[in-house]
């Protein structure tokens, strides 16, 4: 659950069918080194590729999560009710309650990123400090932010509770820095954005993959680990 909270900043109002498809490639620098993460959105579904080995498909309408393990050709599905229960369990281990919403505020600092002038916005809560470098003149940024917010409401509201509302930003967050107490800072920079149509197959399990039983986190007396 922690990985969802971190990378969906970076990510991420349920979508309606009228919204277009979206592909975002991000460079993420954190404790595990430098990675490139590709996020695809189509309708109510998101596909997150954080490594060549594992792909996560999220149904924001139902709340179900599907993990594809490519080397083993295995599928692990977390039904909506279990995903919600795991989120509630993770919250019970938190020492402090996260506020419902954190509104980013401008600092006045400016920087040019990928050819766009950006301004820094920050937000703080007991659980994290976030810094966003926002490009106010990025083309169609409002539509893109709608799609990036796929995980912030609906079935995933419990997981992303307290994360900043992207609609409060006056532009496209091209760089995001997240600092959680006692954890290394994570910096995410958007490298490319595409609104080209995506095939439905990108959001379904590939043929030839076998179902893997999900570990019973809920009967363990400890917080669930990252999938």
Domain-wise residue ranges, the chain: 2-213
Range of weakest confidence among 27-31, 78-82, 165-169, 214-218: 214-218
The domain 2-213 having CATH identifier 3.40.50.300: the answer here is no
Dump pLDDT digits (tens) for 112-160.
Answer: 999 999 999 998 877 778 899 999 999 988 888 877 666 555 545 554 5
- What's the whole-number mean pLDDT along residues 209-225? 65
Tell me the whole-structure pTM to 2 decimals.
0.72
CA distance 200 to 195: 15
Residues 6+ apart with CB under 8 A from 115: none
Nearest to 40 by CA among 18, 55, 29, 52: 55
Predicted confidence at residue 175, as pLDDT, reads 94
Predicted confidence at residue 211, as pLDDT, reads 92
Is residue 4 scored above 80 in pLDDT?
no
CA distance 115 to 149: 24
């Amino acid at each position: 659950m922690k990985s969802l909270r971190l990378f969906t900043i970076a990510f991420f109002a349920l979508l309606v069918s009228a919204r277009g498809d979206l592909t975002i490639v991000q460079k993420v620098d954190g404790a595990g080194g430098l990675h490139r993460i590709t996020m695809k959105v189509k309708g109510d579904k998101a596909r997150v590729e954080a490594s060549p080995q594992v792909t996560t498909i999220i149904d924001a309408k139902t709340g179900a999560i599907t993990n594809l393990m490519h080397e083993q050709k295995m599928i692990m599905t977390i039904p909506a009710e279990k995903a919600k229960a795991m989120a509630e369990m993770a919250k019970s281990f938190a020492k402090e309650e996260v506020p419902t919403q954190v509104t980013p505020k401008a600092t006045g600092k400016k920087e040019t990123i990928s050819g766009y002038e950006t301004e820094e916005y920050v937000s703080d809560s007991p659980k994290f400090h976030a810094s966003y470098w926002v490009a106010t003149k990025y083309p169609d940024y409002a539509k893109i932010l709608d799609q990036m917010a796929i995980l912030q409401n609906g079935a995933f509201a419990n997981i992303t509770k307290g994360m900043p509302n992207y609609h409060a930003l006056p532009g496209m967050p091209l760089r995001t820095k997240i600092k959680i107490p006692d954890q290394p800072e994570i910096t995410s920079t958007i490298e490319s954005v595409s609104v080209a149509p995506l095939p439905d197959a990108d959001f379904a399990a590939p043929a030839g993959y076998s179902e893997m039983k999900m570990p019973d986190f809920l009967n363990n007396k400890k917080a669930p680990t990252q999938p």
